Structure 1
Amino acid sequence: MANVDWFVISHRLCIAQEASRLGWKVFVAAEDTGRRKEIEVDGIVFIDFKFSRSGINPISELKTLLGFRKLYKQIAPDVVHHITLKPVIYGSVMAKLLKINGVVNAISGLGYNFTGDRKSLVQKTMLKLMKFGFKRKKLTVIFQNLEDQSELEKLGVINQLNSIVRIKGSGVDLINFKQFDLPSFERIKILLPIRMLWDKGVKELKEASDILKEKYNGKIQFILAGLADEDNNAGVSASYLNNWQDGNYVIWIGYQKNMIEVYKDSHVVVLPSYREGMPKTLIEACAIGRAIVTTDAIGCKECVDEGINGFKVPVYSINELAIALEKLVSNVDLIKEMGQNSRLKAEKEFDVNNVISMHLNIYKDLYVNRV
């Protein structure tokens, strides 16, 4: 269970496929944005399940919760795997009420309501529901970093009955995402490969690019690859991105289905995010063999060894971000060296085969030990 089909495809489809090949009957429930056929492979059954990712209307949210009830009564699963925060919250509540045998909750970052020291009624409600849903046996929580785990333990969400597993992100296919030669250095290309959200550091990168423009206009190019997610509370508007891009120094290419080609055409990957679980974009950048500039934020910092495969700057920083980018664009040899080190890091830490194996072991343990 996840928010949307494209997230399943990019982050978890390989796990579902392997589970199906091993004999599990796999259902994937998410909103169909037109890509369900890519999920309906290897016997996987796709269910179009729509709900607001960031809605707070009580009536709408109650309907969503009842939608989970209807779905789980229809399928009667032995194990449910919830991905992204709202499915984790509502799915856990309903799985407990319906006495579903095993629950896997993937915490891939705590999201908008847990960034910027936000303390709202929405967050309080989320925490109450999580505490209720998590208080049960045979519930495994997958964390991508220690900080998210510590935060939920401090908030009292994690229960002593829960099993905790740490997995570094969703991994990367090291065969498809192989190391590619860098493109021509005639113009150095800096790639921001994200959904365009303020929490990803879009404003900070915009202002850093402004600092560098006078000196490097015509020598470097910023490429913004991702959709303007205006349905999200933290979404950057298309008008902001259109005003930023000029078709030369900065270009916004929107959502790209084939990200490998986008990575191949870049020299440096940047992500000035405020907080992540474990950003798949940086894991993929490592696999392709690209130097990285990111923040020392939760999740991001695990993808960069400082001065080895990239640089880390403080969250919200602008001048430091510009300085880090300049260190790279002014040193071609450093771009090459850090790119090579990124690939070595991916091979050591981010192999998707290890991620698949760990997930399947979790499913098996919950199923074998069912009542």
Structure 2
Amino acid sequence: MKIVLIGTTANCVVGFRADMIKSLHQQGHTVYALALNYDATTRAQVKALGATPVDYRFSRTGLNPIRDIIDTIALSKLLKKLNPDLVFSYFSKPCIFGTLAASLAGVKKRYAMLEGLGYLFTEKPEGVSLKVKLLKKIQIALYRFAFPKLDALIVLNPDDRRDLMEKSGVKVKKVHVLGGIGLNLADYPFSAPPVDPVSFIFIARLLVEKGVYEYVSAAKKVKQRYPDVQFYMLGAVDTHNPGSLTEQHLAQLIKDDVINYPGHVNDVPSWIAKASVFVLPSYREGLPRSTQEAMAMGRAVLSSDVPGCRETVVQGVNGFLVERWSSDALVEKMISFIENPQKIIDMGQASYQIAQDNFDAEKVNSRLLEILDLR
């Protein structure tokens, strides 16, 4: 069978679709991986996985409807030339316009996966702007137009399904809740969490909606009472995003010994191994990969009671869900871990078991291929 995967960047193909491509290739399917910015390195990596890299053009974030229509027609012509039996799109824009292009090209089987609903569906303590409300209405209208043309839509958590189908009135023949997109668990081996001193780690882009400001605020408060406690932070400053922690703010936090920030790291597991507890006070997620990685290595989780994060924590068993947007709620649970280090060990063990049962890439890909009717 000929299968086309439509995504965004080449790095996302390599980073998030590698196991799927390998599985499809091993089954004897011909796979074309469409991306926007291949270079010699990513092209070679995709070929090594068993797929053919194919360039296509699309504006990832642009709001020009004429440009989007022209690009959709061009994509449909490319799909006609490739003549696939099945198209699988992932991420918001490819899910909309990849599905429409596949329909125009007469592709028989059409599937899409949303790994989260993104910032347009994310509530914030100060409310959302008129611009965001308008963009959300446009996105929902496009989902309503494109998604009835799908054989099935895949989401990662039940809140996303409810918010799309029930609250937004999007119609799809079938919706499947996949859970985590899976990890190669061998890359994230169990390690005993250190408890003397206790340490916390935050891994995400340093954006307001990831809860970076709540994490920093909690770190300052905890440090006043327990100065030996360490707070690690991995993630990039986004200078183009007004909601990002600034480089100046970050430099001050490092200077004041509030945060331990190593900059860009290639070996995330070694940093998780240094930490006692994983913290993600995000405002909304699909099902966060960083949390899955920490759980696989046996870390207790402290996260927000919001869509996507809820699916990673069994309250009081492998960690705690706390009130969203609240640094005080984080402080309370952090102190609970500091004063009861046995919780770190017991909850870390529970996280490890949950990860083994639910986040194994082999099991997840098997389920995904079943949904795509490729088993």
Matched, 1:215 2:222: no
- What's 2:151 paired with? 139
2:192–2:345: 8 Å Cα contact kept in structure 1?
no
Shift of 1:321: 1.0
1:249 is matched with which residue: 252, 258, 266?
A: 258
- What's 1:291 paired with? 300
Shift of 1:329: 2.5
Amino acid at match of 1:47: V
2:147–2:153: 8 Å Cα contact kept in structure 1?
no
Unaligned stretches of 5+ residues in structure 1: none
Matched, 1:200 2:228: no
1:345 is matched with which residue: 337, 354, 365?
A: 354
2:140 is matched with which residue: 127, 135, 141?
A: 127
Cα 1:122/1:264, change in 2 over 3 Å: same
1:265-280 alignment runs, 5 A limit? 265-280=274-289
> Partners in 2 of 1:206 and 1:193 — Cα distance?
13
> Partners in 2 of 1:97 and 1:123 — Cα distance?
25
Amino acid at match of 1:175: A
Unaligned stretches of 5+ residues in structure 2: 1-5
1:2–1:8: 8 Å Cα contact kept in structure 2?
yes
> Partners in 2 of 1:196 and 1:77 — Cα distance?
39
- What's 2:311 paired with? 302
Amino acid at match of 1:30: A
1:175-186 alignment runs, 5 A limit? 175-183=186-194, 185-186=195-196
2:56–2:75: 8 Å Cα contact kept in structure 1?
no
Q: Deviations over 1:251-298 (max 9, x none)?
A: 223443332222222211110011111111111111110011001111
- What's 2:75 paired with? 68
Matched, 1:168 2:187: no
Alignment TM-score, normalising by the size of structure 1 = 0.88
2:278–2:302: 8 Å Cα contact kept in structure 1?
yes
Cα 1:89/1:232, change in 2 over 3 Å: farther
> Partners in 2 of 1:50 and 1:222 — Cα distance?
41
Q: Deviations over 1:146-199 (max 9, x none)?
A: 11111111212123xx2222211112223332212234x443331111122221
Alignment TM-score, normalising by the size of structure 2 = 0.87
Cα 1:232/1:102, change in 2 over 3 Å: farther
Q: Deviations over 1:204-234 (max 9, x none)?
A: 11111121121222x1222211222345575
Matched, 1:2 2:7: yes
Q: Deviations over 1:57-104 (max 9, x none)?
A: 445544554553354344332212212112112212222222222122
> Partners in 1 of 2:107 and 2:242 — Cα distance?
32
Partner secondary structure for residue 372 of structure 2? helix
> Partners in 1 of 2:23 and 2:280 — Cα distance?
31
Cα 1:60/1:361, change in 2 over 3 Å: same
Amino acid at match of 2:204: I
- What's 1:81 paired with? 88
> Partners in 2 of 1:245 and 1:40 — Cα distance?
42
Q: Deviations over 1:20-39 (max 9, x none)?
A: 11111112223447661433
Cα 1:180/1:5, change in 2 over 3 Å: farther
> Partners in 2 of 1:71 and 1:248 — Cα distance?
54
Deviates more, 1:224-233 or 1:198-207: 224-233
1:92–1:130: 8 Å Cα contact kept in structure 2?
no
Matched, 1:46 2:58: no
Q: Considering only aligned residues, what root-mean-square deviation do their CA atoms show, in Å? A: 2.5
Shift of 1:235: 4.3
Cα 1:208/1:157, change in 2 over 3 Å: same
